[in-house]
Amino acid sequence: METITLKINDQEVEVEAGATVLDAAEKLGFDIPTLCHHPDLEEHGSCRVCLVEDAQSGSLMASCITPASEGMEIELDTELVEDARKMNIELLLSEHPNDCMTCDADGNCELQSLAYQYGISNPAFGTMEKAQFAIKDKNPFIQFNPNKCILCGKCVRVDNHIQCSDAIDFANRGSESVIATPLEEGLGGEHSNCVFCGQCVEACPTGALSYKPAQGKGRVHEFEKVETTCPYCGVGCQLELRVKDNQIVQVGSIYDKDHPNPLGEACVKGRFAYDFVDHPDRLSKPLVKKDGELQEATWDEALDYVAEKFSEIKDEDGGAALAGLASAKCTNEENYLFQKFMRGVLGTNHVDHCARL
């Protein structure tokens, strides 16, 4: 593999050809702020906060999208760099409401963090005072508030290139630009392709995209994060439960190349269908019908009861009188065991699986 040597803040670094200046800086342990950059997505180069200075020409470049080249000398901390980054953050703030106090993304907002990092307590152009756009979503899952959107386009890239739903894209032009569904009908609109995978919400660096069911139910610093396997199907997606007071508030993504969903993918069920977990009607103990009434029982009682009834049927009418339907929520191994049990123990070939229905 061809390598390239360059200097960043006078430190030499060697990177593979094709690496960006940002990659090289990160290799040296420098922390360059970014908003539109995402390691799993094609670069966009639009937010202009990852600017660095090319010492030879004195010009600024977006480090996330500029390929490293041999002999480059990059400066990260010049006045030109600092002021340009700061101004671009101030410009974003001028088109963003100052409502961190009540925003669900408080503490989990990259724009907020950068404003803090750059000490922008009094942005040069103020903040957005009157909402420019209406909120149009009529679905129960995801809310898009264009007023909080910084047009980094991460949601579009996740949607188009990872989820491949093509539900959203940039629309309009210039300061009217907005991320939109066809005809701006909103997610869940008549022509919307959205499958509510929630990937866009996970990618959003601000509070522009949020989970509706989680609104007002807690913010990032209040969450306990629990890694778990999605219970819905055999893929085994890894998910991050964000839990407050022992209740799941939202289901987030985990990015790990060793996972079956390495880019944090999920489906609408894994992302949103968790309300059964704490539902009052959920069965947490077996029930056995006694005297016409369902009554709580121990597992031993319940299993003995089922075994006894199965045996009766098998003895009277033969194993073929029994049939079993397995669940996609179980793992492959569990499904294997199930059919083995049906065939080997109960003596029936009547086994099927819900995934076929």
| Chain contacts with another protein (rule: CB under 8 A) | 43-49, 51, 59-60, 62, 65-67, 80, 83-84, 87-88, 91-92, 94-95, 124-125, 150-151, 160, 166-177, 180-184, 190-191, 193
Query: Residue 175 CB, nearest distance to another protein (Å)?
Result: 5
Query: Using CA atoms, how far apart are residues 224 and 244, in angstroms rounded to an integer?
Result: 6
How many other β-carbons are positioned within 10 Å of the β-carbon of residue 186?
20
Query: Residue 97 CB, nearest distance to another protein (Å)?
Result: 14
Closest by alpha carbon to 197, among 126, 277, 251? 251
Query: Residue 249 CB, nearest distance to another protein (Å)?
Result: 30
- For the CA atoms of 249, 269, 178, 64, what is the dihedral angle to 10 degrees? 80
Measured from the CB atom, the residue of 127 and 229 that comes closer to another protein is 127
Query: Residue 252 CB, nearest distance to another protein (Å)?
Result: 25
Measured from the CB atom, the residue of 166 and 275 that comes closer to another protein is 166
Query: Using CA atoms, how far apart are residues 223 and 241, in angstroms rounded to an integer?
Result: 9
252 CB-contact burial (10 Å; exposed 0-12 / middle 13-18 / buried 19+):
buried
Measured from the CB atom, the residue of 189 and 270 that comes closer to another protein is 189
Query: Residue 78 CB, nearest distance to another protein (Å)?
Result: 11
DSSP assigned state of 86: H
Query: Using CA atoms, how far apart are residues 153 and 172, in angstroms rounded to an integer?
Result: 14
Measured from the CB atom, the residue of 102 and 175 that comes closer to another protein is 175
Query: Using CA atoms, how far apart are residues 247 and 244, in angstroms rounded to an integer?
Result: 5
Measured from the CB atom, the residue of 132 and 298 that comes closer to another protein is 132
